[in-house]
Structure 1
Amino acid sequence: MRTDIFARLDREPEPPKIETPRMSRHRIALFGGTLAFYLAIVIAVLMSSWLVTLDWKVMLFRPYQQWPGIHAFLDYYVVLGQRGPTAVMVACWLGWRSWRQHTLRPLLTLGASLLLLNATVGAVKYGLGRLGPHYATQIGSAELFAGGDIFPSGHTANAVVTWGILAYLAATPRARRYLSAMSAVVSLGVGLTTVYLGTHWLSDVVLGWAAGLLILLGLPWVEPLITRAENWIFAARERLSAHSRLVPAPPVAAGGPRPVPAGQPAMGGTAAQSPVREPVGAGSRQAAVATAAGSRPRAHTAPPAHQGHAVRSERTPVTPVGSRRPPHADRTPRGGTAPARPVAGG
């Protein structure tokens, strides 16, 4: 029995029609505004403006020393922004959605969003090379191009994308509103937690929020590629299924015996030895006579003394042209040496 996700999809009823988000004017306006905000943060850090001064004030305030009682809880809470655990949790939920809705779009959308996130955030991280608060070398410096990988915050951007994808794929407007609020609270808390722990500057977190929001707002542009990938996967599955249903014939060695179809006696046997009894007709009788004429004679044993008559399988078949068995010169008729009486109707 097939137990993969495709087999389960085939057994489920047809799902309701799910509307795919489109790149509307409102979404384009939000995308443009977020992109402008993103560039403004990068420029502010590059110019060591007031934003960098605020970074240093928050860092020297050391929130983890001001409120040490919540340190243990926030150490676990920040896991909601780590890429590995969050991707596994959300992938399990979206996998169940794919199973119920007969589509791979939820899983493919998650994969596409994480791929875009890693490409864009990773490029900026290693391109600017900013050091974190614990590795800073000069007070008031932006700590750029120093071999770091802290700007923007990967935890914050990942929390925005991973939990925001649930709202993006919501089936109803009500669910979309609730999931949007939930993802906003989770990503906001993860970003502030990294500032509390001293692992990120405040500007890192702000840029991480903007980076994750850009990914979610730009996903409708990727929807055609996601649809194309889904169609390709299902087409490949159909080809594999069709190929697995083709059973090749067993190979036959040169000069060796060939397989005998069911119901046909093997070479050297008689029609009476076949396990399948065919209806007696003109065509089948002639074929039986031709088969018996070309077969090799076989010795027959006399029936036991206590047996009054021969069983049906030992009787000599009668046809309009006579016996189907060839005559035997050395055969002795039953009951003595008198010649056998011809069968009536022969």
Structure 2
Amino acid sequence: MFSNINTDLEQLNNNLRKISGPRHPILYAAAEYLFSAGGKRIRPAIILLVAKATNTKEQLYDEHKRLAEITEIIHTASLLHDDVVDNCKTRRGLDTVNQKFNNKVAILAGDFLFAQSSWYLANLNNLSVVKIISKVITDFAEGEIEQGLRNFDPSSSLDTYMNKSFHKTASLLAYSCKAAAILSGADSKVQKHFYNYGKHLGIAFQIIDDILDLEGTEKNIGKPQGLDLKNGNLTAPTMFALDKCPELKEMIQREFTEKNDIQLATQIITRTNAIKQAKDLAKEHAQASLEYLHSYPKSQSIENLKLFSYNIINRIS
């Protein structure tokens, strides 16, 4: 999927590792640790591919490359804050920044990255892009508040979950895809198509993550299993199971305070068809993302973008 952007992704990784510079030793150490930990760099890869797909010459401008970096910086900053809020101790199989250093350093590092992304954004000198990417940072905060207010609330609706998922995950991908099209000089119709591609793909990503929280292992998801349940974050599989299992509602209302509650709740959810329903929902959004690519001429970039959607569908089939 990265075949025609590998060199650009390597340069992106090098730039990310240098982001804080040596002036702030603690922030430098945190950023170096964070970005050296790797990650799939899915979001910047998608942005670079959209940039090529919406450019008549299939080339990347410096602004596209900077946008890809901004997208990954914002995503990483949000993870730093999430790890503190969720008291998460591992990510990608390594200690989180809050675990390796402390919560204060993690929060400050996240704030620094948000500020750095804003500085890079302003220097793109494109007001339309500044406006829509700035909205992403607002959406992150709104999503986190929505989630916090609904913790351990079995009356939460699927609509509430989808709204939160857009704000916390899909917004970044949707608006960044649109921004890449804007920087390519694409018209409003093309911008809207790629916004919707990113939106549906982002929602599918989030649902898959929520399924893996119940089905995965710490080794293959890079963080402790059942963390969402433990923190009272009710995701799609849990909501589907709630309709069928009154005992699950009781566990949620007592905030899983009894011994083995998390283990029992996981078993309850997995023995219903709730996981399948969640997978079907993820597939729907992955299929929807493909709909916005069908009208574009065949190119390596478009085919690689389609592979992201197909991989989700094949992964959960």
User: Does the TM-score normalized on the shorter chain lie above 0.5?
Assistant: no
TM-score tier (shorter): under 0.3
Q: Which has the higher Rg, Structure 1 or Structure 2?
A: 1
- TM-score normalised over the length of structure 2: 0.27
Q: More helix by proportion, 1 or 2?
A: 2
- TM-score normalised over the length of structure 1: 0.25
